[in-house]
Structure 1
Amino acid sequence: MDILIRPVEPTEYDDLGTITAQAYLQDNLLDFGEGDEYLRVLKDVAGRAAAAEVLAALRDGRVLGGVTFVPSGGPMADIAGPNEAEIRMLAVSHAARGQGVGEALVRSCLARARATPGCRSVVLSTQRTMHAAHRIYERLGFLRTPERDWNPIPELTDITLLTYELTL
């Protein structure tokens, strides 16, 4: 079964927003559940698509997941510096997990980074409990960069995002 990766279309924003939000909620990745402010960001695919490249993974016309690719210097970058691209908000529906969707999305981001003039590496942040995602990143050659680990909500000291980097 082939997976198609392409820029998300406006008619798919709601589906991808729901998949992304549900992936984070079902995996207990949001500190405040439905009341988490970040949930609004996860659902706002239109806002992300206006500031970065949002890719959708589809099979038979059905959205299975997506990712936000932030080219070097993009406004949605959390940790990317000069000559770095960033991968954000990788999410796959629970029904489609284990079918290569996440890896296909990451590979597509890597191809875009390689096609971006001056881009020398791809960086990302991930939560400690995202073990399946860690396996994808490590299988594709990403290395942990603990010196870049960071906390997006300083008042909550127990949230430290792990960082990875792949040199192109």
Structure 2
Amino acid sequence: MNLRNYHPGDARRIDELAVSAFSQFRDAYTDWPVFSAKISTMSDLSETGEIIVAELAGDIVGAVAYLGPFKQKAPFFRPEWPVMRMLVVAPAARGHGVGRALAEECLARARRDGARSFALHTSELMKVALPMYQRMDFTWLAAAPDIHGVSYGIYLKELDKAHA
């Protein structure tokens, strides 16, 4: 697997991947058409952050947006916290460490940026992602606003400067 920075030519594939990755949860969201329309513009996050792309055998199989300290982000995140948004993995590529590699790259970028903490928001609905984050030492901090009827929480990880 290869991780690389996003290129504008990746937009269509990244946007399709976001909808594909979340489609397993379509029945949990009270308004899937509105929610899927929002996530189908994942590539727009490249305007305020860094999108990291995972490739396997030349195909884009995952992506995540890294928003560094003091970059535009949801108001429930503290401005100095770097965050990751929209970690998505193609259904066929799951179980190969793609999500973990993308998350670790976000943490590496946070350390590069001198951050002390790193935040994300996720839901208990995410039966694979949430346990992965917990194994990576993210801990629940507070409730985040629901998204179309799905409860979300804010999770925080203190960064170990020794790995910088």
What TM-score do you get using the length of structure 1 for normalisation?
A: 0.85
Match of 2:78 in 1: 81
Question: What code does the residue aligned with 1:151 have?
Answer: P
Question: Counterpart of 1:76 in 2: which secondary structure?
Answer: coil
Higher relative contact order (CA 8 A, sep 6+): 2
Residues 114-129 of structure 1 correspond to what in structure 2 (within 5 A)?
Answer: 114-117=111-114, 119-129=115-125
Q: CA deviation at 1:80?
A: 2.4
- Report if the CA contact (8 A) 1:73-1:80 is conserved: no
Q: CA deviation at 1:130?
A: 0.2
Match of 2:144 in 1: 150
Two-structure CA RMSD over aligned residues (Å): 1.7
- Report if the CA contact (8 A) 2:122-2:154 is conserved: yes
| Structure with a larger share of its residues in strand | 2
Residues 62-73 of structure 1 correspond to what in structure 2 (within 5 A)?
Answer: 62-73=59-70
Match of 2:152 in 1: 161
Q: How many pairs were matched up?
A: 158
List per-residue Cα deviations over 1:115-162 (Å, max 9, x = no partner): 003x111111112210100121111111121xx212145xx6x53212
Match of 2:127 in 1: 131
Partners in 2 of 1:39 and 1:67 — Cα distance? 17
Partners in 2 of 1:55 and 1:86 — Cα distance? 13
Match of 1:54 in 2: 51
Task: Identify if the C-alpha distance between structure 1 residues 78 and 68 changes in structure 2 by more than 3 Å, giving closer, same or farther.
Answer: farther
Match of 1:31 in 2: 30
Partners in 2 of 1:73 and 1:8 — Cα distance? 21
Question: What code does the residue aligned with 2:9 have?
Answer: T
Task: Identify if the C-alpha distance between structure 1 residues 75 and 83 changes in structure 2 by more than 3 Å, giving closer, same or farther.
Answer: closer
What TM-score do you get using the length of structure 2 for normalisation?
A: 0.87
Q: Deviation above 2 Å: which 4+ runs of structure 1?
A: 26-31, 38-41, 76-80
Partners in 2 of 1:57 and 1:31 — Cα distance? 30
Q: CA deviation at 1:25?
A: 1.8
Partners in 2 of 1:162 and 1:23 — Cα distance? 20
Match of 2:6 in 1: 8
Question: What code does the residue aligned with 1:64 have?
Answer: V
List runs of 5+ in structure 2 lacking aligned partners.
Answer: 160-164
- Report if the CA contact (8 A) 2:29-2:150 is conserved: no
Task: Identify if the C-alpha distance between structure 1 residues 94 and 78 changes in structure 2 by more than 3 Å, giving closer, same or farther.
Answer: farther
